C-alpha cells in the first residue's frame, strides 16, 4: 500500500483536501447566498451552467497544453491559485455580472488544473491500481468537502445569515493548498515544445482516440446531460421547509459517507472491474433522483443522500481511472481534458434545463426526468462494456 500511495499521490490529495475545505465551505450556502442577493432558481441554474462551461472549455485546452509541454506542476499550481483568489471576490460586490465573473474565475482554476492533476495521479500507478489511487484522492478530496460545510455550520450557528464572511474565511485553506503545490515535482521531462497549442486543438483527439474511448465517453456525456448541479438537491431540502442548519448537516453527512466509501470502492473496483462499478453507480444515481422529489421526512433525505454518496464514490474517480487506462500514456491529460471539457458543457445545459424544468413543471418532474434518463445510460454502458471491456479488468 505504501508503494501505491506515493509522495506525489499524497501531496496532490492533500492539496485537494484543503481546496475542498475552502470550496465546500461555500457550496451548500451558495444557493442561499445567491437567493439573498436576488438570484432566482432559474438564474442560479444559468450561473452554475456558465461557470461549468468555462471550466469545461479550459479543461480541454490546458489538458492538451500539459501533454504538449510534458509538464503537470505549473498547471496544478496556477489552477489552485485561481480558485483560491476567487473566494473573496464573491464577497466584494453583489451585482450579477460581478458574481458571474468571480464564479467563473473559480471554475477557470478548476479547468487549468484538472487534466494535469489527474494525469499526474495516473502517472504514479499502474492499470491494476488505478481504482485505489483515484479512490484515495477522492477520499481526501471529499473529506475536505465534509470539513468545509461543518466549519460553515459552526460559523452560521453563531453568526446566522453572515454569508459574506465565509467567503473571506475560505481564503485560509486555499492558501495552504497553494503552498503545498510548491512541494510537487514533475515526473515527466519537459519537452522543447514551448508554443501554446490552439485553443480547440484538443478536439482533434476524438479522431485519434480508440473505439473504446469513443464508446465510453459517449455514455459518460449522455449521463452528464441528465446530471445537473448538486445545488438542486440542496434546494429540494430547503423547499420542504427545512432549516439552513439541517440542509448543511445533510450535505456534511453526504460528504462524510462519500469520503469513507471512496477508497474501499476503489479497491473493489480494481478487483471486480472499473466499468461494472461505474454502471452500478449510475443505477444508484437513477434510484436516488427518481425518489428525491417525493422525499419529505428527515430519514428519507438522509437515506437518499447516503445512497447518493455511494453513487459518487462509484463513478467520479472511477470514470477518470477508466479513461486513463484507455488513453495513451502521453495523451492522458488530453483525454481526460477532452472528456471533462465536454462534460462541463453538458453540465451547463443540464443545470440550465433543470432550472427551467423546475421553474415551469416543478421539482418532482425535474428529478424524475434525470432518474429515468440515467437509467437508460446505465443500460447503454452495460451493453457496451460486454464488447469493449471484457478483454481486460476495466
Q: What is the DSSP string of 275-299?
A: HHHHHHHHHHHHHHHHHHTT--SHH
Residue 390 has pLDDT above 70, yes or no: no
Q: What is the pLDDT of residues 95-122, one digit of tens each?
A: 777 777 877 888 888 888 888 888 888 8
Contact 52, 351 (CB under 8 A): yes
DSSP per residue over 326-358, as a string?
Answer: HS-GGGHHHHHHHHHHHHHHHHHHHHHHHHHHH
Span 269-296, pLDDT tens digits: 888 888 889 999 999 999 999 998 888 8
pLDDT recorded at residue 192: 46
pLDDT score recorded for residue 296: 84
List, for residues 228-245, the tens digit of each pLDDT value: 877 788 888 877 777 777
Whole-number average pLDDT of the chain: 82
Tell me the mean pLDDT in the region 372-381.
Answer: 92
Residue 49 has pLDDT above 60, yes or no: yes
Kindly state the average pLDDT of the residues 263-268: 89
Indicate whether this model's pTM tops 0.75.
Answer: yes
More confident residue, 346 or 28: 346
Cα separations in angstroms, 140 against 191, 252, 367 = 32, 14, 29
pLDDT at 24 over 50: yes
Domains and their CATH numbers in the chain: 7-184+206-388 (1.20.1250.20)
CA 126 to chain centre: 23
pLDDT over threshold 60, residue 191 = no
pLDDT at 118: 86
Q: 3: which DSSP letter? A: T
Q: Cell numbers at residue 122, please?
A: 495516473
- pLDDT score of 194 more than 60: no
> Measured between alpha carbons, how far is residue 96 from residues 35, 36, 103, 270 in Å?
11, 12, 11, 45
Cβ neighbors of 386 (< 8 A, separation 6 or more) are none
Express each pLDDT in 157-173 by its tens digit: 788 877 778 888 888 99
Confidence (pLDDT) at 207: 82
Only one residue has cell 483560491, namely 84
Return the residue matching grid coordinates 440515467: 374
Cβ atoms within 10 Å, residue 251: 26
In the structure, what pLDDT confidence band is assigned to residue 52 with cuts at 50, 70 and 90? low
**Non-local CB neighbours of 58 within 8 Å, separated by 6+ positions:** 107, 108, 111, 112, 341
Confidence grade of residue 392 (pLDDT, cut at 50, 70, 90): very low
State which of 94-98, 125-129, 194-198, 223-227 shows the largest mean pLDDT. Answer: 223-227
pLDDT digits (tens, 9 = 90+) for 205-229: 778 778 888 888 889 999 998 888 7
Residue 192 C-alpha cell reads as 522543447
Alpha-carbon span 336 to 333, nearest angstrom: 5
The predicted-structure confidence for 332-376, as pLDDT tens digits, reads as follows 888 888 888 888 778 778 877 888 888 888 888 889 999 999 999
pLDDT of 48 strictly over 90: no
Amino acid at each position: 500500500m505504501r508503494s501505491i500511495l506515493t509522495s506525489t499521490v499524497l501531496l496532490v490529495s492533500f492539496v485537494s483536501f484543503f481546496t475542498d475545505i475552502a470550496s465546500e465551505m461555500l457550496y451548500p450556502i451558495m444557493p442561499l447566498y445567491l437567493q439573498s442577493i436576488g438570484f432566482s432558481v432559474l438564474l442560479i441554474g444559468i450561473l452554475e451552467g456558465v461557470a461549468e462551461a468555462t471550466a469545461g472549455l479550459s479543461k480541454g485546452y490546458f489538458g492538451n497544453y500539459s501533454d504538449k509541454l510534458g509538464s503537470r506542476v505549473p498547471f496544478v499550481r496556477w489552477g489552485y491559485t485561481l480558485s483560491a483568489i476567487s473566494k473573496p471576490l464573491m464577497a466584494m460586490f453583489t451585482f450579477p455580472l460581478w458574481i458571474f465573473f468571480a464564479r467563473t474565475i473559480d471554475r477557470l482554476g478548476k479547468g487549468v488544473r484538472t487534466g494535469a492533476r489527474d494525469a499526474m495521479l495516473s502517472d504514479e500507478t499502474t492499470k491494476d491500481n488505478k481504482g485505489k489511487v483515484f479512490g484515495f484522492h477522492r477520499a481526501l478530496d471529499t473529506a475536505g468537502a465534509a470539513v468545509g460545510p461543518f466549519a460553515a455550520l459552526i460559523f452560521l450557528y453563531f453568526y446566522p445569515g453572515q454569508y459574506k464572511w465565509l467567503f473571506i474565511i475560505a481564503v485560509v485553506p486555499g492558501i495552504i493548498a497553494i503552498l503545498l503545490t510548491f512541494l510537487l515535482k514533475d515526473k515527466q521531462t519537459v519537452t522543447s515544445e514551448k508554443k501554446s497549442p490552439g485553443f480547440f486543438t484538443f478536439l482533434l483527439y476524438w479522431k485519434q482516440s480508440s473505439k473504446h474511448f469513443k464508446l465510453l465517453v459517449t455514455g459518460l456525456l449522455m449521463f452528464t446531460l441528465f446530471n445537473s448541479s448538486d445545488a438542486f438537491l440542496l434546494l429540494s431540502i430547503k423547499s420542504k421547509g427545512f432549516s439552513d442548519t439541517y440542509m448543511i448537516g445533510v450535505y456534511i453527512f453526504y460528504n462524510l459517507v462519500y469520503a469513507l466509501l471512496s477508497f474501499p470502492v476503489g479497491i473493489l473496483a480494481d478487483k471486480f472491474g472499473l466499468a461494472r462499478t461505474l454502471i452500478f453507480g449510475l443505477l444508484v444515481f437513477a434510484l436516488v433522483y427518481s425518489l428525491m422529489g417525493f422525499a419529505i421526512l428527515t430519514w428519507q433525505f438522509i437515506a437518499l443522500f447516503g445512497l447518493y454518496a455511494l453513487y459518487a464514490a462509484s463513478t467520479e474517480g472511477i470514470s477518470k481511472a477508466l479513461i486513463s487506462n484507455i488513453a495513451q500514456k502521453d495523451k492522458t491529460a488530453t483525454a481526460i481534458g477532452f472528456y471533462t471539457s465536454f462534460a462541463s458543457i453538458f453540465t451547463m445545459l443540464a443545470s440550465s434545463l433543470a432550472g427551467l424544468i423546475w421553474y415551469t413543471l416543478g421539482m418532482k418532474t425535474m428529478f424524475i426526468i434525470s432518474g429515468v434518463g440515467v437509467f437508460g445510460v446505465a443500460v447503454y454502458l452495460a451493453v457496451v462494456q460486454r464488447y469493449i471491456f471484457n478483454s481486460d479488468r476495466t
